[in-house]
Amino acid sequence: MLLRLRAQPTIGLFILAGRNFLSTCFRYSSPFQLILVILIGLHLIPIWICHYFPTQDGPSHLYNAQIIREYWNSSYQFQEFYDIQWSPLPNWITHFLLASLLLIFPPILAEKVFLSLYVICFPTAVIYFLNSIEVGKRTVYLMVFPFIYNYLFLMGFYSFALSVPFYFLALGYWWRHKDNLSVKTIILLNLILVATYFSHLISYGLALISLGLLIILYYYKRPPLLLTHLCGLIPASSLMLVYLPSSDLLSGETPKIGLSRLPVLLTKLLSMEILISWDESQAIVGYLVSGTLIFLLTYTLWETRDMQSDRNAKTYSYRAMFLVICLCLLVLYLILPWSVGPGGWLNDRIAMLVCVLSLVLIKEGNHGWWRFGVGGWLILISLLNVLQLGYHCQILDKELRAFNAKVMTIEKNQVLLPLFFDGMGSAHRIGIFVNAGNYYCLDNGGINVANYETNYDYFPVKFKDRFQPPLPKKEWVVVLHWQPEEIDLCSYAQYVDYVLLWGKPDPVTAKYLEICYHNISTDGQLKLFKPEDLNQE
């Protein structure tokens, strides 16, 4: 019941965006509405044509959601190994949504439904935002679709993926209601920001910064309204003060800010590296999207070159305001480090937001041939992208099926130690096997020693203090994943029931396995081991 109640505000916000999206579609001709619906449907195909949708962290989120779902199940031993932090942490929405879906669907199907919601909500929210700023930019809507299956989403960063629609929903909602602020408007805006916080801290912080800049730029000549709108953000902003003082974000070294990586970051941005994940061939779509975006922005600059601002106007044009926000995000992208505290991929996250946000700057041509040509080109890019995604998804799905060939071998309530020596498989940038050991712990109450989420304070599931990790280091899961030779597998044999091995192990690990474990099953790169009987002489 608690899971359902907590999930309702989030689902309600998605429904709100969906309703506005549909109303937007119905304002236009039937063919364009049909095109949008077909494109959304086509982008659902990669999720449903494969059994295991290949991501890096996705299996971990699914497993931890099941821990929350089954925490009070007396037939499982989750309460013996795990604690759940019920404090207001970021990333809760993903776990609550998945846990709620697990009330209805089996795990693999629940994940597919969750991913489908994301695929629907991403273009819905961005189109809602674009339509809020300027009604009728239909061609630009088509530019949204190549960004759905971005690198961060396919890394399995589900919380961040969900936070992107909330970011644009917040900006679009404020813009629509900026001139008729009411108590209801303030409450709904804060609910959207709260949902953004519970999705991901980065998008939440950037949403507050973006809204703050918009308010200042829009109301700079009207101080009372400026102050009123800024005060309206205070309730949602207070969540930052609740989380940060006790988080690990402030406990590490001071982030190194600078321009030392400027050439590399600019190259990544211009090549749209955020669209490359499963295979190098996705760079084709990346370059096509990048070239198209540069062309459209250049066209906009040319078309607006003679426009002069009205000095008597009460505010700037919307393009000027969003250009300032895009430039601010771009500066942050270029100067911030790869990680702050335990959180990584900071530049990629900002790049994702700034690329999609830049769509609002585009000015459409007035001629029918322009819209037909650019629109047709964008549809072709989306079709090529879907074909590539579907093809590579099936290849990686076969590899994951091979990895999970012995899932049914694991009995109920077993402790599993997964070790991988081929984390990528055929994937280009995604470690599809890194967290795939979680599949072996679904629907059986299994305990995954390599449950990486327990190492980070922004996830709700933690190992109990009495849990014996393989290493005394704080981030021992990272060592377990990438330096397993540092683990004394013989000493740790008393704590595990199974060791899952994928790939050819290093000599140290191979020696430990030979001495202290016996192989019970081999299937290609996959091997299952059980500890030797310690009581046997």
Give the mean model confidence (pLDDT) for residues 229-247.
89
Q: Global pTM?
A: 0.92
Tokens at 181, concatenated: 């602020």
Give the mean model confidence (pLDDT) for residues 83-103.
95
Least confident of 55-64, 299-308, 310-319, 410-419: 310-319
Least confident of 186-200, 255-269, 396-410, 436-450: 255-269
**Distance between the two ends of the chain, CA-based, in angstroms?**
52
463 and 454 Cβ atoms separated by less than 8 Å: yes
Q: Map 445-462 to HEC letters.
A: CCEECCCHHHHCCCCCEE
Distance between CA atoms of residues 194 and 191, nearest Å: 5
Q: What is the pLDDT of residues 136-171, one digit of tens each?
A: 788 999 999 999 999 999 999 999 999 999 999 999
User: pLDDT value at position 313?
Assistant: 60
At 523, phi and psi to the nearest 5? -145, 90
The pairing of beta strand 447-448 with beta strand 461-463: unpaired
User: pLDDT value at position 537?
Assistant: 39
427 and 408 Cβ atoms separated by less than 8 Å: no
CB burial of 211-243 (b: ≥16 within 10 Å; e: otherwise) equals bebbbebbbeeeeebbeebeebbeebbebbeeb
272 and 278 Cβ atoms separated by less than 8 Å: no
| Distance (Å) of CA 426 to CA 43, 256, 311, 341, 432 | 22, 34, 58, 31, 9
User: pLDDT value at position 4?
Assistant: 40
Give the mean model confidence (pLDDT) for residues 492-507.
96
36-41, Cβ contacts within 8 angstroms, sequence gap of 24 or more? 36/123, 36/127, 36/141, 39/123, 39/142, 39/145, 39/379, 39/382, 40/119, 40/120, 40/123
Nearest CA-CA partner of 165 in 178, 177, 179, 150: 150
356 and 164 Cβ atoms separated by less than 8 Å: yes
User: pLDDT value at position 311?
Assistant: 58
Q: How confident is the model at residue 309 (pLDDT cuts 50, 70, 90)?
A: low
User: pLDDT value at position 18?
Assistant: 55
pLDDT > 90 fraction of the chain, expressed in percent and rounded? 77
For residue 250, pLDDT over 70 is answered with no
Least confident of 1-10, 149-158, 212-221: 1-10
For residue 1, pLDDT over 50 is answered with no
User: pLDDT value at position 349?
Assistant: 97
User: pLDDT value at position 536?
Assistant: 45
Least confident of 365-369, 454-458, 502-506: 365-369
User: pLDDT value at position 267?
Assistant: 96
Round the average pLDDT of the chain to a whole number and report it. 90
For residue 419, pLDDT over 90 is answered with yes
Q: What is the pLDDT of residues 332-378, one digit of tens each?
A: 999 999 888 777 899 999 999 999 999 999 998 888 888 899 999 99
Distance between CA atoms of residues 404 and 12, nearest Å: 36
Give the mean model confidence (pLDDT) for residues 240-261.
78
User: pLDDT value at position 246?
Assistant: 75
User: pLDDT value at position 472?
Assistant: 86
User: pLDDT value at position 23?
Assistant: 53
Q: What is the pLDDT of residues 37-53, one digit of tens each?
A: 999 999 999 999 999 99
Strand partners, 10: none
Position 470, amino acid: P
Give the mean model confidence (pLDDT) for residues 256-280.
94
For residue 258, pLDDT over 90 is answered with no
Distance between CA atoms of residues 141 and 179, nearest Å: 25
Q: How confident is the model at residue 11 (pLDDT cuts 50, 70, 90)?
A: very low
Distance between CA atoms of residues 310 and 30, nearest Å: 38
Position 315, amino acid: T
| Distance (Å) of CA 203 to CA 147, 206, 382, 422 | 16, 5, 25, 32
User: pLDDT value at position 256?
Assistant: 81
Distance between CA atoms of residues 447 and 415, nearest Å: 5
Least confident of 175-189, 338-352, 430-444: 338-352
**Angle, nearest 10°, between helix axes 346-357 and 201-219?**
40
Give the mean model confidence (pLDDT) for residues 403-421.
96
**Residue the block writes with tokens 């933690």:** 462
